[in-house]
Structure 1
Amino acid sequence: MALSPAKRHFLRVTAAQEAATTAADQPMAGSGAYELQMAQLHQHHQQLKGIQSTQGKEELKAKLLPDYAPYVAGVLASGKGAQDEVLTTVMVWRLDAGDYRGGLDIAAYVIEHGLTMPDRFARTTGCLVAEEVAEAALKALKAGGTFDLGILAEADRLTAGQDMPDEVRAKLMLALGRVAAAQVDPEKPNTADVHSLEVARHFLTRALELHDKCGGKRDLELVDRQLKKHAGTAS
């Protein structure tokens, strides 16, 4: 059931007030808005457990996420970095549901304040964010679609100082390289495309440096070929 405007306002304001008065070294547990959201989260977890399909879970998460939006907005506006399982869970759910911009908004706060992920998540925040966004981009390209290069760039910026396996960082670099390269039409050389190709080459090279079996060798060869083609057209 959708939240009424009054309920949404109450949750946002209460969350902001409670987050503003909870120190970074303390958990949000015990505050009214947080406990309400945790109770709701428990109910929603039970619903998700009843679904085996990954796509089905993602679709349900997308429907449930608006119930947490007021709380999240309040915490992000006024929070001081208190440990918050609702916030970190919603961050993951947003990424799962394809709301990458919304997920990264929370990730910026989580990483800035060093919030820990709930025990059920094996990966650190930086690793999780980098890998989830990279895999989404690579999956979209494989299916013949597109992906927002700005989302990938933001994921890279946010996680730049975070520790993670080289294979995961390479996957993000590979996604950046492939998406940048995909912006160029190989059949219609244009000098304006040179920048995109150079960006693609930079990230693909970095991906291979981190993990030589990341799958980017063929991509790099194609980009180099296109750069030579553009250079020949320009001359």
Structure 2
Amino acid sequence: MSDLSPAQRHKARVLAERAAADAAPGGVTAGSAYELMLYKLANDRRTLSNIQSMERKIVIKAELLPEYQDWIDGVLSKGQGGQDDVFTSLLVWHIDCGEYDRAVEMARYAVAHKLTLPDQFNRDIPTMLLDEFSAAYLKGKLATDPVAAVEILMRVLQLTDHCDAPDQARAKLLKAAAYAMLAVLDADGNELLPASKLPQAEAVYQLMERALTLFPGVGVKQTMDRLRARIVKTVPG
């Protein structure tokens, strides 16, 4: 659908809006437009299943994602919270492909309406978000721009804060957010903390402290100790 004309794209979005609007909160999305999207997704999954390289799978997913944007826009625009396996599957794909802003936008809708992932994912959406966004930062995919990383990770923390999820998963996202904030704090390369940066340093420490409380094996203790020593030595200015 990425090569559709503007008129065809408009029609595709209208069909998506109708299907999403007709699905009652807590109900199931239905209709011919939804069935076509499910069929397309199944075909695309079959294509991906024939590829062994994870790196190559992500490349293919990134090439396919534009073909689903009209459907996603329709759900976000008119959706009433009906279960939509296409939408939730594509939420995971966006994270896989590094489309983090779009993923957070979709995640907010999915969490607000308590949507679920298809059975093959074996996790609920809040746990998946905690796992995947923490891994994206801690494995370097989201670390290229620390300022943007902080914004995204804090948004995920906020939208999952009220959700039931494993303590270990939440601890890892707290760790990722703390490390991203620390990277911003240390962007000037100065080991000595001026007093003006003390509030940020304390906020980083508190995030790591909470992570450690939730999961003692989260691996932040040495970083916490180093940061506490720097906080103690804070210089005026």
The answer to whether the aligner puts 1:195 opposite 2:190 as a matched pair is no
Q: Does 2:226 correspond to 1:222?
A: yes
What corresponds to 1:234 in structure 2?
A: 236
Structure 1 equivalent of residue 116 of structure 2 = 116
Cα distance, 1:149 vs. partner?
A: 0.2
SS at structure 2 position matched to 1:11 = helix
Deviations 1:24-48 (A, max 9, x none): 232113x132122112111110111
Percent identical residues: 34
Where 2:233 maps in the other structure, the secondary structure is: helix
Match of 1:176 in 2: 177
In structure 2, runs of 5+ residues without a counterpart are none
Deviation, 1:2, is 2.5
The one-letter amino acid paired with 1:201 is Y
CA contact (8 A) 1:11 1:70 kept: yes
In the alignment, the residues of structure 2 paired with residue 24 and residue 200 of structure 1 have an alpha-carbon distance, to the nearest angstrom, of 38
Q: Does 1:97 align with 2:97?
A: yes
How many pairs does the alignment contain?
231
Structure 1 gap ranges (5+): none
Moved over 4 A (4+): none
Residue in structure 2 matched with residue 53 of structure 1 by the alignment? 53
Contact 1:181 1:223 in 2 (8 A): no
Q: How big is each residue's C-alpha offset from its partner over 1:150-184, in whole Å with a ceiling of 9 and x where there is no partner?
A: 10001001111111111111101111111111112
CA contact (8 A) 1:178 1:219 kept: no
User: Partner amino acid for 2:183?
Assistant: A
Equivalent residues of 1:19, 1:28 under 8 A apart: yes
Q: Distance in 1 between matches of 2:24 and 2:196?
A: 50
Cα distance in 2, alignment partners of residues 187 and 201 from structure 1: 16
Matching residue's letter, 1:140? G
Task: Decide whether the 8 Å contact of 2:22 with 2:29 is kept in 1.
Answer: no
8 Å contact 2:192–2:230 — kept in the other structure? no
Deviations 1:41-78 (A, max 9, x none): 11110111111111111121111111110111011111
Equivalent AA in structure 2 for residue 54 of structure 1: M
Cα distance in 2 for residues equivalent to 1:84 and 1:153: 26
